[in-house]
Amino acid sequence: MRFVLASASPARLSVLRSAGIEPLVIVSGVDEDALVDSLGPQAEPESVVTELARAKARDVLPRIAESGHSDAVVVGCDSMLLIDGELQGKPLTVDVARARWKAMAGSHATLLTGHCVIRTENGTVVDEAAECSGTVVHFSTPSDADLEAYLATGEPLQVAGSFTLDSLGGWFVDRIEGDPSSVIGIGLPLVRRLLGRVGVGIAELWRGSPVL
């Protein structure tokens, strides 16, 4: 059975490899902004990230079949930071990232990570499970010089919440309450539970993957 990751995230790929999985990476083409708009402003934050993850997993299904892997589990993921009741995705610009850091420095926020697992057999979807996990992140207050240096690296511009835990941004995270792997991008405990709900054990995936 092939494990398929519907994400271009190098952090997610690194987590999986460290956990003994060498996934087939097929990047989804979901228009995230359009999907969020379609859900409407009243959608619960947990539902937003879960539906984004579901859409990404479903989007790559045709390409899995084309790749010749008829038996597979595909995992879609989405992460957003919840600050004062509002979801924050990738800032994309220095100005937005700077404003977010000014807002969250010395405070805390919840990193929501949605996951969807779809199982296929003989090229047909036979089961699906999706859920969201939340991890509270406590941020330090970086000096102005450190913040500007961090922004200049470009790292916070392309990640949910404008920070990383496993790279340069880790210097500015005091502690977390919850699953560290979900903050990096793919929550191993939640994915394990979702795999169990579609009838797949972790050891089944290890057998076909090198443990790095």
Task: Output the tens digit of pLDDT for each of the chain's 212 residues.
Answer: 899 999 988 999 999 999 999 999 999 998 888 998 899 888 899 999 999 999 999 999 998 878 778 889 999 999 999 988 888 888 999 999 999 999 899 999 999 999 999 999 988 999 999 999 999 999 999 999 999 999 999 999 988 889 999 899 999 999 999 999 999 989 999 999 999 999 999 988 886 544 33
Please check whether residue 7 lies inside any domain of the structure.
yes
Please check whether residue 184 lies inside any domain of the structure.
yes
Q: Is the dihedral of CA 48, 54, 58, 59 positive or negative?
A: positive
Per-residue confidence (pLDDT) for residue 207, from 0 to 100: 60
Please check whether residue 123 lies inside any domain of the structure.
yes
Per-residue confidence (pLDDT) for residue 210, from 0 to 100: 43
Instruction: Please spell the DSSP secondary structure of 34-66, one letter per residue.
Output: HHHHHH-TTS-HHHHHHHHHHHHHHHTHHHHHH
Per-residue confidence (pLDDT) for residue 136, from 0 to 100: 96
Per-residue confidence (pLDDT) for residue 185, from 0 to 100: 87
Strand pairing of 2-5 and 24-25?
A: parallel
Per-residue confidence (pLDDT) for residue 123, from 0 to 100: 86
Q: Is the dihedral of CA 61, 62, 68, 71 positive or negative?
A: positive
Q: Which amino acid is at 102?
A: K
Per-residue confidence (pLDDT) for residue 40, from 0 to 100: 87
Domain count, the chain: 1
Residue 101 lies in domain: 2-207
Does 179 participate in catalysis according to the annotation?
no
Please check whether residue 212 lies inside any domain of the structure.
no
Say what the alpha-carbon torsion angle 57, 45, 47, 40 is, to the nearest 10 degrees. -100
What's the CA gap between 42 and 24, in Å, rounded?
35
**Other CB atoms within 10 A of residue 93 CB:** 11
- Gyration radius of the chain over CA positions: 17
Whichever domain contains 137, its CATH number is 3.90.950.10
71, 78, 84, 166: the catalytic one is 78
Strand pairing of 72-83 and 108-121?
A: antiparallel
Please check whether residue 149 lies inside any domain of the structure.
yes
What's the CA gap between 66 and 63, in Å, rounded?
5
Instruction: Please spell the DSSP secondary structure of 109-151, one letter per residue.
Output: EEEEEEEEEEEEETTEEEEEEEEEEEEEEEE----HHHHHHHH
Per-residue confidence (pLDDT) for residue 85, from 0 to 100: 85
DSSP 106: T
